[in-house]
Structure formats: C-alpha cells, structure tokens
Amino acid sequence: MDGQQSEHNATNQPDDSCVLILGAGINGCAVARDLVLNGVPVVLVDTNDIASGASSKSSRLIHGGLRYLEHGDFELVRESLEERRCLLRAAPHFVRQIQLFVPIENRLGGIFQSAARFLRLSRLASWLPSRTRGLYLVRLGLWLYDRFAKDETCPAHKLYRSGEDNSPAVRADRYR
C-alpha cells in the first residue's frame, strides 16, 4: 500500500469509493437496494434499462404463497405475504394487482388429499382418488389466505359462478 492511501485511511476521512454492480436484473437491483439502504454508495450498470433482460421476460407475478398454504407451510405464506406488502409499499409503480380465477369442478374435491398433505401424510394423499380442488377446499383456503394477508390494499377473494359478469368464459358443463 502506498503512503498516501494509508495516510488517507488513518485520518478516518470518508472514502469516495463505491460498489460497482454489473447487471440491473433482479439480483443486481436487489443487491444495490440492500447496499443503498445500508448507506453504501452504489453504481448500477447495465447494457439496457433496468430489468430489460431475463428479468423482463418472466411473468413478474408477485404472489403471497397461496400454494404454500395448501401444503401447510404457514411460515412461508406469512413470509411471502410480507414480501408482497414490502414490494407494494416500496415500488408501487412496478407492482400492479391482477385478478386470478380458480376454476372449480365440484364441491368436495381434494379435501381428503389436502388434509393428508396438511397432516404430513403424503403417502396416504397419493393413494386417494381425486386431485381436483373443490369449492369447500378453495373457499377455506382463500378465507385463511385473506386472514394471513391482513392487507387493506389487496382486496379479499370473491367467488363467481360460471357465466357471471366479470368471470372468464369456461366450460359451464365442467366448471361451476
């Protein structure tokens, strides 16, 4: 180390250096954000715009872990919903809510399989016949999900019958 640099550091003067991050995809932006939030200066460089590469080609679907609920992983559901809340607060210009529809074929489908999975009896779940999710199971899952979400900015779930206003066209002979 030369004398000038060691003398500079010895005086505890602020250093003009910063962290250079190459690539403004999801990982580069996440690292840059964490560093900036911790007071570290950052220069973020990419050949194009932020998230214009592989990150821009994904669905960018920000979910709250509804699938994790089905497997009884409540901690992961809570964590996913907290991340969603953070993104909605920190970057509302990048996050928009979309409406998703879950088609339902019957009322009781999947209850026994889900109960077996929830109780960590996966071998039993694979032996049980129906693999569809029925009305009661979906209704219970979405009710639980709404309780976990505790988020006034995201509307609670709604149920639609096939053919109702605002519902997508589905095969009415198969879905209710």
Per-residue pLDDT of 105-124, as tens digits, reads 888 888 877 777 778 777 77
- C-alpha 65/C-alpha 63 separation (Å) is 6
123, amino acid identity = R
- C-alpha 32/C-alpha 21 separation (Å) is 7
* First-to-final CA distance of the chain: 74
Compute the C-alpha angle 44/89/70, nearest 5°: 105
With 0-12 CB in 10 A as exposed, 13-18 as middle and 19+ as buried, what is 24? Answer: buried
Position with higher pLDDT, 86 vs 62 = 86
Q: Give the predicted TM-score (pTM) of the model.
A: 0.60
The percentage of the chain sitting over the pLDDT mark of 90, rounded to a whole number, equals 11
Residue from 74, 32, 23 nearest 52 by CA: 23
What is the predicted pLDDT for the residue at 12? 53
Q: What is the pLDDT of residues 56-81, one digit of tens each?
A: 566 666 777 777 887 778 898 888 88
- C-alpha 144/C-alpha 1 separation (Å) is 60
- Cα-atom radius of gyration of the chain, to the nearest Å? 24
pLDDT band at 41 (very low <50, low <70, confident <90, very high): very high
Give SS3 for 159: coil
The percentage of the chain sitting over the pLDDT mark of 70, rounded to a whole number, equals 82
With 0-12 CB in 10 A as exposed, 13-18 as middle and 19+ as buried, what is 55? Answer: middle
DSSP per-residue letters across 7-57? HHHHTTPPP---EEEE--SHHHHHHHHHHHHTT--EEEE-SSSTT-SHHHH
What is the predicted pLDDT for the residue at 85? 85
Phi, psi of 9 (to 5 degrees): -70, -30
- C-alpha 82/C-alpha 89 separation (Å) is 11
Least confident stretch, 92-96, 134-138, 142-146? 92-96
